[in-house]
């Protein structure tokens, strides 16, 4: 019971509210809040008087007076009196859907929110599927308030399904792809919703949440102090030295909050490489204390990224200690990125540098004893085998596979390489026999290396090479061939509600592709409930689509194609006076086109987003009418509001670049047409929708979408697919139509 009457940081806010409404005297004090009531204490000069006020309606009643301040032992009897009052808990709804209506239709508008029927429907859909422990797939366009919808549904579910007790329960897990969204949920959405619901008597104490991240994101105090002692303040850049000094003084363990600390420094002081169990400060360690607190089920929400959630899933599957406490439901936002995370978490890689580094770590510095000599010889042998293996892998890469845009290089493991692998496995096994139990962490690391190597001895994986030209940094990676089935068994067979949502889960209102990708169809198709909602934004009024009919077929190696694209982009830039984002599917055409357009647009600010250049986006945002040439991350997750981005130019339809994974997928289909229809076209359309989503980000945004791929033109193979995937907009027949549309929609300053 006492959980429901905690005096908390909102008691003062509510006291100020009732004083502001002139319902009580200014010299009053708030004792506690319960439901929609606050107990008020006033001092008359002789006695302390107590009255209860419904802070939503203003109803109130005098209760009693005392000569001395009431103590907490008397709270229980006062609560029983409050509960008998006619105005206590007046606004509570009879069921969850009624409560969602009340919150989104009555409470939210008080704080400036617009009632959106689609948002109300989405929240109810999520609530009902949480209640029934179903799997929900929802494709929700930008602008509908998706995050508010699922948070309200989750809170209401916790209240009603736990019989009104929102304070003692298993948490709900929210997993997203981006740290930006996780931070927004924790720092903006949840505090804002807490305040609104407390002020309107829905809950009595704040909603609590905790952000969960991998241990490499936290500071090891031992490593931090040791590293700081090893630094030379004269040789270390002043800002970095002071940053580390400041971190020691702050005792903050979250590296995300550390300023002026380089990535190199963070790797030197993070928890990842620590042997925690052996550490003398284990019991007093700030990181361990944080983890102990974070694992508690008292938080209402546990918030993490997809990788962390899947890591927890895999630990549970293997019978190891979980990362997250037991939870009642999972909300997977940005669910279109879940498969990318699964490829990382279910995949295996062996890294040339890491194997060498580890062998050097365990190799004895002195080799006087026979055992030390044997260990040194074995580690040297592993390093030699390691180099031979990766040299052989590099030789197997086809010559035509080397390009700037290739990330996954096809290779082959020959019989000779199998022998090298087996010899490496045998030698590492021999090393492990020579390690004592006191070197437990080394044994664990050795087992990890062995398990990784053994994967490549079996024919159950799709494998590829990364960084083949960077000797010492080469890596062999793999994912299971049956990853979708494995993921399906792990994710969907648990008797928990799973809520998946994104702006790009469906293709033309069809979820077949994502269901197949995530292994749903063979496991729980009957439990999956679907919902799609289009954007509330007025695209037909505020957005124009231009698809020219006479562009050459996309071919980066064709000089005429590059010239034609460059001329068209230059003309389009002139029509919108800059304010443009030009999206490419790879870096090679970006560089070629950028150089040619630069010669045509000598007086305009053009920005090229190259690998490793993180300032390009900020530079574009801070400009007035620049043009950003970009690829990669700019296709999704970047928000550029206002007129800075008013023209989105998509150079080529974003079909995926072929790699060993797609080559294997293709082999599972009878012919290319079936593969194209089932996989490639859905992938392209989802990516296209993500790119188009960069343009219209609010009700007042206006702009133009130009698609320069002839395959999307009136007679193109994918014309109808593209139009069906995009919002319904007016079509421009010429570049002059674009100029006229923007003159109509923008003010004069836009063209200065």
- Interatomic CA distance for residues 505 and 502, integer angstroms: 6
14 and 158 fall within a common domain:
no
What pLDDT is stored for residue 440 in this prediction?
61
488 lies in some domain: no
What pLDDT is stored for residue 438 in this prediction?
55
* Token output for 374: 């044997």
339 lies in some domain: no
Phi, psi at residue 567, to the nearest 5°? -65, -45
pLDDT tens, 644-703?
999 999 999 999 989 999 999 999 999 999 999 999 999 999 999 999 999 998 889 999
Residue where the block lists tokens 């006291």: 15
338 lies in some domain: no
CB 149 within 8 Å of CB 126: yes
**Confidence label for 97 from pLDDT (cuts 50, 70 and 90):** very high
**Confidence label for 7 from pLDDT (cuts 50, 70 and 90):** very low
726 and 617 fall within a common domain:
yes
pLDDT at 4 over 50: no
Domain containing 35 equals: 2-83
CB 346 within 8 Å of CB 487: yes
**Confidence label for 46 from pLDDT (cuts 50, 70 and 90):** very high
pLDDT at 161 over 80: no
pLDDT at 411 over 80: yes
491 lies in some domain: no
- Bridge partners (DSSP) listed for residue 607: 628
pLDDT tens, 590-641?
999 999 999 999 899 999 988 765 688 889 999 989 999 999 888 987 888 8
Per the prediction, the chain carries an average pLDDT of: 90
What's the mean pLDDT in 713-724?
96
196 and 105 fall within a common domain:
yes
- Interatomic CA distance for residues 104 and 118, integer angstroms: 11
What pLDDT is stored for residue 48 in this prediction?
96
pLDDT tens, 431-473?
888 877 556 667 777 888 888 899 998 889 999 999 888 887 8
Residue 515: CATH number of its domain: 3.40.50
9-20 helix and 190-199 helix, angle to the nearest 10 degrees: 50
Give percent of the chain with pLDDT exceeding 90: 66
403 and 286 fall within a common domain:
no
- Interatomic CA distance for residues 664 and 393, integer angstroms: 19
183 and 36 fall within a common domain:
no
703 and 673 fall within a common domain:
yes
Final residue in a domain of this structure, among 293, 312, 338: 293
Final residue in a domain of this structure, among 60, 83, 106: 83
268 lies in some domain: yes
532 and 509 fall within a common domain:
yes
pLDDT at 167 over 50: no
pLDDT at 1 over 50: no
Residue where the block lists tokens 């030789």: 395
175 lies in some domain: yes
pLDDT tens, 250-293?
888 999 888 788 888 888 899 876 667 677 788 888 888 999 99
287 and 309 fall within a common domain:
no
pLDDT tens, 510-556?
999 999 999 987 666 678 999 999 999 999 999 999 999 999 999 99
404 against 458, higher pLDDT: 458
- Which 8-state DSSP code applies to residue 16? H
526 against 370, higher pLDDT: 370
Beta strands across the sheet bearing 172-176: 209-211, 301-305, 172-176, 329-332, 497-502, 135-140, 528-533
What pLDDT is stored for residue 166 in this prediction?
46
In angstroms, how far is CA 731 from the centroid of its own chain?
34
Say which range, 128-137, 374-383, 517-526, has the weakest mean pLDDT.
517-526
Domain count, the chain: 5
What pLDDT is stored for residue 392 in this prediction?
94
Integer-rounded Cα radius of gyration of the chain: 30
570 against 216, higher pLDDT: 570
**Confidence label for 10 from pLDDT (cuts 50, 70 and 90):** low
302 and 426 fall within a common domain:
no
486 lies in some domain: no
136 lies in some domain: yes
What's the mean pLDDT in 333-362?
93
CB 96 within 8 Å of CB 157: yes
Say which range, 197-201, 426-430, 737-741, has the weakest mean pLDDT.
197-201
Say which range, 308-317, 609-618, 650-659, 730-739, has the weakest mean pLDDT.
609-618
- Interatomic CA distance for residues 497 and 502, integer angstroms: 17
Final residue in a domain of this structure, among 432, 447, 480: 480
* Token output for 459: 């024919």
CB 173 within 8 Å of CB 329: yes
pLDDT at 178 over 70: yes
Residue 589: CATH number of its domain: 3.40.50.300
289 and 310 fall within a common domain:
no
355 and 430 fall within a common domain:
yes
The closest of 399, 395, 389, 396 to 412, measured between CA atoms, is 396
264 and 310 fall within a common domain:
no
């Amino acid at each position: 019971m006492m959980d429901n009457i905690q005096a908390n940081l909102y008691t003062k806010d509510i006291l100020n509210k009732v004083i502001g409404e002139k319902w009580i005297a200014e010299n009053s004090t708030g004792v506690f809040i319960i439901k929609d009531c606050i107990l008020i204490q006033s001092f008359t000069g002789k006695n302390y008087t107590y009255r209860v006020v419904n802070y939503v309606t203003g109803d109130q009643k005098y209760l009693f007076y005392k000569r001395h301040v009431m103590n907490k032992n008397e709270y229980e009897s006062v609560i029983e009196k409050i509960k008998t009052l006619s105005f206590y808990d007046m606004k509570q709804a009879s069921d969850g859907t009624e409560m969602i209506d009340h919150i989104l239709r009555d409470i939210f508008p008080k704080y400036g929110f617009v009632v959106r029927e689609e948002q109300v429907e989405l929240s109810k859909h999520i609530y009902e599927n949480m209640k029934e422990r179903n799997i929900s797939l929802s494709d929700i366009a930008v602008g509908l308030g998706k995050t508010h919808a699922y948070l309200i549904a989750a809170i209401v579910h916790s209240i009603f399904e736990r019989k009104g007790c929102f304070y003692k329960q298993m948490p709900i897990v929210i997993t997203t792809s981006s740290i930006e969204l996780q931070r927004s949920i924790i720092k903006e959405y949840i505090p804002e919703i807490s305040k609104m619901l407390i002020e309107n008597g829905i809950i009595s104490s704040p909603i609590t949440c905790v952000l969960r991240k991998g241990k490499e994101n936290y500071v090891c105090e031992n490593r931090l102090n040791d590293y700081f002692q090893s630094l030379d303040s004269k040789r270390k850049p002043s800002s970095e030295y002071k940053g580390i000094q400041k971190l020691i003084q702050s005792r903050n363990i979250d590296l995300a909050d550390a300023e002026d600390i380089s990535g190199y420094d963070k790797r030197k002081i993070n928890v990842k490489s620590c042997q925690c169990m052996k550490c003398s400060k284990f019991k007093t360690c700030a990181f361990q204390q944080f983890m102990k607190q974070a694992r508690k089920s008292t938080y209402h929400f546990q918030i993490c990224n997809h990788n962390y959630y899947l890591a927890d899933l895999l630990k549970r599957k293997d019978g190891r200690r979980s990362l997250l406490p037991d939870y009642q439901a999972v909300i997977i936002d940005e669910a279109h990125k879940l498969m990318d995370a699964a490829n990382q978490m279910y995949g295996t890689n062996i890294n040339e540098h890491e194997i060498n580094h580890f062998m050097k770590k365990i190799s004895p510095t002195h080799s006087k004893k026979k055992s030390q000599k044997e260990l040194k010889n074995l580690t040297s042998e592993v390093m030699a085998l390691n180099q031979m293996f990766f040299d052989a892998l590099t030789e197997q890469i086809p010559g035509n596979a080397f390009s700037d845009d290739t990330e996954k290089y096809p290779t082959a493991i020959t019989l000779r390489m199998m022998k090298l692998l087996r010899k490496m496995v045998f030698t590492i096994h021999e090393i492990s026999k020579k390690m004592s139990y006191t070197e437990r962490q080394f044994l664990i690391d050795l087992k990890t290396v062995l398990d990784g190597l053994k994967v490549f001895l079996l024919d159950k994986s799709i494998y590829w090479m990364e960084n083949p030209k960077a000797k010492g940094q080469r890596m062999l990676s793999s994912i299971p061939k049956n990853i979708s089935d494995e993921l399906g068994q792990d994710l969907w067979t648990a008797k928990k509600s799973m809520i998946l949502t994104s702006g790009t889960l469906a293709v033309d209102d069809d979820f077949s592709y994502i269901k197949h990708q995530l292994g749903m169809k063979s496991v729980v198709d009957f439990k999956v409930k679907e919902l799609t909602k289009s954007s509330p934004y007025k695209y037909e009024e505020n957005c124009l689509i231009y698809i020219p009919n006479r562009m050459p077929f996309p071919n980066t190696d064709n000089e005429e194609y590059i010239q034609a694209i460059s001329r068209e982009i230059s003309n389009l830039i002139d029509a919108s006076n800059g304010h443009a984002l030009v999206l490419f599917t790879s870096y090679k055409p970006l560089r070629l086109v950028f150089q040619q357009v630069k010669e045509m647009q000598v007086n305009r600010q053009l920005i090229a987003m190259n690998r490793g250049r993180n300032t390009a986006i900020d530079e574009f945002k801070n400009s007035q009418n620049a043009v950003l040439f970009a690829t990669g991350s700019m296709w999704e997750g970047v928000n550029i509001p206002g007129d800075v981005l008013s023209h989105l130019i998509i150079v080529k339809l974003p079909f995926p670049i072929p790699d060993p994974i797609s080559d294997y997928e293709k082999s599972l289909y009878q012919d290319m047409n079936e593969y194209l229809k089932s996989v490639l076209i859905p992938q392209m359309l989802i990516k296209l929708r993500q790119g188009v989503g960069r343009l219209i980000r609010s009700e007042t945004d206006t702009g133009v979408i130009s698609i320069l791929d002839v395959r999307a033109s009136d007679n193109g193979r994918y014309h109808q697919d593209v139009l069906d995937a995009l919002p319904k907009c007016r079509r421009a027949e010429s570049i002059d139509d674009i100029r006229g549309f923007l003159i109509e929609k923008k003010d004069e300053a836009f063209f200065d």
